[in-house]
Homo-oligomer: A and B are copies of this chain.
Amino acid sequence: MTKENTTIGVIGLGVMGSSMARNLAKGGYRVLACSRTQSKAESLQADGIIPSSLRELASQCPVVVLSVTDGAAVEGVIFGENGIANQLQTNSLIIDTTTIAPSEAASVAARCAELGLRFLDAPVTGGDVGARNATLTIMCGGTAESFQAAQPVLQLLGKKIVHVGESGSGQMMKAVNQVAIGLGIVAMTEALLLAESRGLNPSMALDILQGGAAGSWALSNYAPRLLAGDLKPGFDAAHMLKDLKIALQAASGRCELPGLATTAALFEKLVATRSGVGNHALMEAYR
């Protein structure tokens, strides 16, 4: 697969998908892009990206990158009435960077295999900044052969690219990651709430917390935004809630995770009371 004569499709042009499309174009691929809101694709033309319909994209692209909303959207884009499965050549590779349930990913992969298509679950972590700078961590589930085939593409999107195991296991690793992130946000939130409620200076508290055994990425990166009153996503709280529900489902019947249950309930409350805020705004659920 040489870049010059390979066309890659990108479906879903949110914050993550747009950056991915740009990085693939910058990396030398011909990139067709398609989004529910087609004006998003048009706005990427200045970056050399070609707006396309699903049908056209599928007929031209041996490799398609998905970055859509959820499992239902992934299934719709692939197997729906206008889905790409109808047009893709045999042996085409679908790289799904959406976060969906591990069981959904395994099922989509099996359906793809029946149709002679390859499917790699490849959820990412590293946020908008990681997508922009191509420093994402990408957790892949699928055959070794699909993982190998995806390498030239994934190398343009991320920095740490791991083959976790069979189909669904990339999503499982992502669920594990979201458990740690969610609980890390609860740790940050409750420590700062206690400090605030007892009249301690929050900036001083943060400085002390960051320097020791309480230190975390959340404290170093989310807490300063929070203390500055900036609740804008980063990573949308509603997406976090979706991911935590996937994790709860993955844990179900395997292990009791009371911290995760508490965390999911708090994000449920946040999303019910506030919209359009980042996952670092969890403190709002405590008011």
Interface size bracket, A side = 35 or more
Q: A193: which of B126, B162, B205, B255 is its contact (CB, 8 Å)?
A: B255
Residues 163-198 of chain A, each 1 if its beta carbon lies under 8 Å from chain B, else 0: 011000100110111111111101111111111011
Could you say which of B164, B194, B207, B215 contacts A217, with CB atoms under 8 Å apart?
Answer: B215
The A256-287 residues at the B interface (CB cut-off 8 A) are 256-260, 262-263, 265-266, 286
Report 27 cross-chain contacts, Cβ distance below 8 Å, ordered by A residue.
A137-B211, A173-B200, A176-B192, A176-B194, A176-B198, A176-B200, A177-B208, A178-B214, A179-B187, A180-B187, A180-B188, A180-B190, A180-B214, A183-B183, A183-B259, A186-B187, A190-B260, A194-B247, A194-B255, A194-B257, A194-B260, A197-B254, A213-B217, A213-B235, A256-B286, A257-B286, A258-B266
The interface residues of chain A, by DSSP majority, are classed as helix
Q: Given A194-B250, A200-B169, A247-B194, do A216 and B184 touch, yes or no (CB 8 Å)?
A: yes
Q: A127 in the interface, Cβ–Cβ < 8 Å?
A: yes
Contacts A162-B204, A176-B205, A179-B191 given: A251-B197 contact, CB under 8 Å? Answer: yes
Spell out A's residues near B (CB within 8 Å): 102, 125-127, 130, 137, 139, 160, 162, 164-165, 169, 172-173, 175-184, 186-195, 197-200, 204-205, 207-209, 211-219, 221, 235, 247, 250-251, 254-260, 262-263, 265-266, 286
Residues of B within 8 A of A221 (CB): 213
**Also in contact, A198 and B254, with CB within 8 A (given A177-B208, A180-B188, A208-B139):** yes
Q: Are A219 and B180 in contact (CB under 8 A)?
A: yes
Bound complex: CA A257 to CA B198 (Å):
13
Contacts of A125 in B (CB 8 A): 208, 212-214
In the A-B complex, the 9 residue pairs with the closest CB atoms? A183-B187, A180-B214, A180-B191, A216-B216, A197-B254, A186-B259, A215-B217, A197-B255, A190-B257
Which residues of B have CB within 8 Å of A126? Answer: 212-213
